[in-house]
Homo-oligomer: A and B are copies of this chain.
Amino acid sequence: MPGNILGERFVVVSFGESHGRCVGAVVEGCPAGLPISEEEIQKELDLRKPGTSAVTTMRKEEDKVEFLSGVFQGYTTGAPICMLVWNKDVDSSSYEKIRGRPRPGHADYTAFVKYGGFEDYRGSGRFSARVTAGFVMAGALAKKLLGHAWGSQVYAYVREIGGVKSRDMPLDEIREKRYGNSVRCPDFDAASKMESKILEAKRKGDSLGGIVECVAVDLPVGLGEPVFASIDSDLSKALFAVPAVKGVEFGLGFESARRYGSENNDLFKVVDGKIVTETNNSGGILGGLTSGMPLVIKIGFKPPSSIAKAQNTVSMETMEQTSLVVTGRHDPCVLPRAPPIVESIVAIVLADHGLRGGFIPPILKKSKSSE
Contact = CB atoms under 8 A, between A and B. Distances in A.
Given A230-B241, A289-B114, A208 B261 contact: yes
Given A32-B116, A273-B319, A5 B228 contact: yes
A117 B24 CA distance: 27
Nearest to A162: B258
Contacts of A365: 116
Interface stretch (A43-51, A55-63, A72-80, A146-154): A72-80
Given A117-B368, A264-B105, A72 B2 contact: no
Given A110-B287, A305-B261, A248 B267 contact: no
A194 to B, nearest CB: 12
B21 A260 contact: no
Contacts of A68: 15-16, 20-22, 24, 84
Contacts of A133: none
A301 interface: yes
A4 B237 contact: no
A207 interface: yes
Contacts of A243: 287
Interface in A227-265: 227-230, 232-234, 236-238, 240-241, 243, 245-254, 256-262, 264-265
Q: Which of A254, A306, A364 has the most CB of B within 10 A?
A: A254
A69 B15 contact: yes
A48 to B, nearest CB: 16
Contact of A32 (B70, B115, B250): B115
A128 to B, nearest CB: 10
Contact of A254 (B11, B247, B259): B247
Interface in A12-56: 12-17, 20-22, 24, 26, 28-29, 32-33
A282 interface: yes
Contact of A288 (B84, B107, B261): B107
B33 A13 contact: no
Nearest to A205: B262
Contacts of A201: 260-261
A117 B363 CA distance: 9
A275 interface: yes
Q: Which of A32, A81, A104, A163 has the most CB of B within 10 A?
A: A104
Contact of A126 (B9, B226, B282, B361): B226
A290 interface: yes
A228 B238 contact: yes
A64 to B, nearest CB: 15
Given A68-B16, A79-B119, A358-B361, A208 B241 contact: no
A1 B93 CA distance: 40
Nearest to A105: B265
A16 to B, nearest CB: 5
Given A24-B68, A104-B267, A240 B230 contact: yes
Contacts of A206: 260-262
Contact of A286 (B76, B109, B361): B109
A275 B320 CA distance: 10
Q: What 8 pairs between A and B have smallest CB-CB spacing? A: A107-B287, A3-B225, A247-B249, A207-B261, A3-B229, A237-B237, A116-B363, A110-B289
15 contacts: A4-B28, A72-B118, A77-B118, A77-B125, A105-B264, A114-B363, A116-B364, A117-B368, A126-B227, A162-B258, A208-B260, A209-B259, A232-B245, A240-B288, A270-B321
